[in-house]
Amino acid sequence: MSTFAAVMTGKGTGAIATIQLFGPKSKTILKKIFTPAQNKSPTFEPGKIHLGHITDGAETIDQVTIGCESGSSFAINCHGNPLIVEMLMQLVKKHGAKLVTAEQLLAKILCEQKSLNTIAIEAKLAQPKARTLEGTKIIANQIDSGLTKTAQQWLDKIETISLEDIRAQSAEILENSRIARLLIAGCQIVIAGPPNSGKSTLLNCLCGTQKAIVTDIKGTTRDWVSARCRIGSLAAELIDTAGLGEILTATTIDKAAQQKSIEILQSADLILLVLDNNQPADQLDDKLLDKFPAEKILTVLNKSDLPAGLDAIKLPPALADTVLISAKFQTNIDTLINKIQLLAATQKLNPHAAVCFTDRQQDLLQKLKNAKSRTSAASVITRLLNGKLCV
Ligand SMILES: Nc1nc2c(ncn2[C@@H]2O[C@H](COP(=O)(O)OP(=O)(O)OP(=O)(O)O)[C@@H](O)[C@H]2O)c(=O)[nH]1
Ligand SMILES: [Mg+2]
């Protein structure tokens, strides 16, 4: 087995950084590059911490502490300047360590722990990346209960449980996973609609900064603008797009901007379709509306402070779910936020429910949902619990 090295702390400058050495040659490498402070040979016994210097020949690179975790795993705690970290990484590489990412190294260390099944390893790798605290809890719950428990129960009862039950439960897990993903990975909310309806004003209002330019000139936004913010329990990426509909100038820039808006709509988890409540209901061409994924639309009727020019009853059925606000005067924004959360359905999700949170699990659950026999289902469940990790 090779010896690996990875920077375990985040990118950028910090007070300290940690480089992990893992593998059979770790101690040999350390003996070549580490000079202890008290000038006596360090034991590198598990549980010990040694203070000293890392040197490359006659050159001292940094003062460090070495934490000895096991006979083959050591944490070098150095100063957090990225230039020092890079020099140390190049030095251990020169002495035979393979450089890997923190996630790859963590995966190797976790795979050595025979008590952990694949779902537990995936959970430990996924937890640091979750975008919300709720997301980290959902992932943690999959280790001892959730997905692990459900899969284990299926296997225990595989001779008696009906294939229909496994399929139905798999479908339910996939549906819950779709909701859980919004809490774990975050939610993309696209703000779209005709020019001048107040899309950029709404983005600024929801994210609390003047991120997008607002003017009374139609076609102000061309390149989409994005901002990360919290919407209730959701970690959202809000995307403000160029207005759709009339081509405002004869240039190709307008067309390109509108084309980009339509493309962005396709990947949205939710679309806030902003209409000007002061204007008639036919602000958006039916042909354009066909390009919107209907089930993801929440219609935001903006400019409630002005006289109503729009009769909501005349809106097409796909736009029937409406909320009346004023983005400029921040009126009824709480109702909008509640509606967004209701549509995302995250409040309905039991945090202890079985969900999948990696592509590998998702793929296997899809197979289980369509399993043709109990034998093939059993093989998929076994892979779910103990299959090869994909990092
Ligand atoms: N009265 C009123 N005016 C608003 C409201 N929201 C936005 N506006 C005004 O409407 C105009 C257009 O606002 P924007 O946010 O730039 O509209 P937009 O949809 O991003 O426009 P484009 O980028 O051109 O498509 C500006 O003058 C805003 O101040 C509102 O709630 N009430
Ligand atoms: Mg705009």
Q: How far is CA 96 from the centre of its chain?
A: 34
Q: Which ranges in 34-117 belong to alpha helices (H)?
A: 82-94, 102-112
How far is it, in rounded angstroms, from Cα 122 to Cα 194? 43
Q: Is the pLDDT of residue 332 over 80?
A: yes
Mean pLDDT across 285-295:
86
Identify the CA nearest to 268 among candidates 340, 198, 187.
187
Q: Which residues, other chains included, contact 248 with Cβ-Cβ below 8 Å and sequence gap of 6+?
A: 195, 218, 219, 254
Which atom of ligand 1 sits closest to the CA of residue 222?
Answer: 23
Give nearest CA residue, ligand 1 atom 11: 216
Distances (CA, A) of 325 to 88, 188, 216, 228, 236: 56, 21, 18, 21, 20
Q: Is the pLDDT of residue 248 over 60?
A: no
- Domain residues of the chain, as ranges? 4-112, 118-184+351-386, 187-347
What are the backbone angles phi and psi of residue 124, rounded to the nearest 5°?
-65, -30
The number of the ligand nearest the C-alpha atom of 204 reads 1
The predicted pLDDT at position 250 comes to: 57
Give nearest CA residue, ligand 1 atom 8: 198
How far is it, in rounded angstroms, from Cα 289 to Cα 284? 7
Mean pLDDT across 219-229:
91
pLDDT digits (tens, 9 = 90+) for 123-176: 999 999 999 999 999 999 999 999 999 999 999 999 999 999 999 999 999 999
Mean pLDDT across 286-298:
88
Highest mean pLDDT: which range of 37-46, 65-74, 249-258: 65-74
pLDDT digits (tens, 9 = 90+) for 300-330: 999 999 999 999 898 998 899 999 999 999 9
Question: β-strands 98-99, 4-7: how paired?
Answer: parallel
Share of the chain above pLDDT 70, in %: 98
The number of the ligand nearest the C-alpha atom of 273 reads 1
Q: Is the pLDDT of residue 222 over 70?
A: yes
- Count Cα neighbours of 316 within 13 Å in the Cβ-side half-sphere: 16
What is the reported pTM? 0.80
Q: Is the pLDDT of residue 246 over 80?
A: no
How far is it, in rounded angstroms, from Cα 28 to Cα 3? 10
- For the domain spanning 4-112, the CATH number is 3.30.1360.120
Share of the chain above pLDDT 90, in %: 77
Ligand 1 centroid, distance to 182 Cα (angstroms) = 29
Q: Is the pLDDT of residue 261 over 90?
A: no
Ligand 1 centroid, distance to 199 Cα (angstroms) = 7
The predicted pLDDT at position 187 comes to: 94
| SS3 of residue 275 by DSSP | strand
Mean pLDDT across 190-198:
95
Mean pLDDT across 322-342:
96
The predicted pLDDT at position 256 comes to: 86
Q: What is the mean pLDDT of the chain?
A: 93
Q: Is the pLDDT of residue 257 over 90?
A: no
Mean pLDDT across 236-245:
93
Cβ(132)–Cβ(138) below 8 Å: no
Mean pLDDT across 81-92:
97
Cβ(343)–Cβ(270) below 8 Å: yes
Identify the CA nearest to 285 among candidates 149, 193, 376.
193
Cβ(100)–Cβ(94) below 8 Å: no
DSSP 278-328: TS-STTS-HHHHTTS-GGGEEEEEE-TTSPP---GGGS-GGG-SEEE-BTT
Q: Is the pLDDT of residue 258 over 60?
A: yes
Q: Is the pLDDT of residue 249 over 60?
A: no
The predicted pLDDT at position 149 comes to: 97
The number of the ligand nearest the C-alpha atom of 215 reads 1
Cβ(68)–Cβ(48) below 8 Å: yes
Q: Is the pLDDT of residue 247 over 80?
A: no
- The CATH superfamily of 187-347 is P-loop containing nucleotide triphosphate hydrolases (3.40.50.300)
Give nearest CA residue, ligand 1 atom 1: 303
Q: What are the b/e assignments for 323-349, b being 16+ CB within 10 Å?
A: bbbbbbeebbbeebbebbbebbebeeb
Ligand 2 centroid, distance to 241 Cα (angstroms) = 7
The predicted pLDDT at position 383 comes to: 97
Q: Is the pLDDT of residue 377 over 80?
A: yes
Ligand 2 centroid, distance to 207 Cα (angstroms) = 15
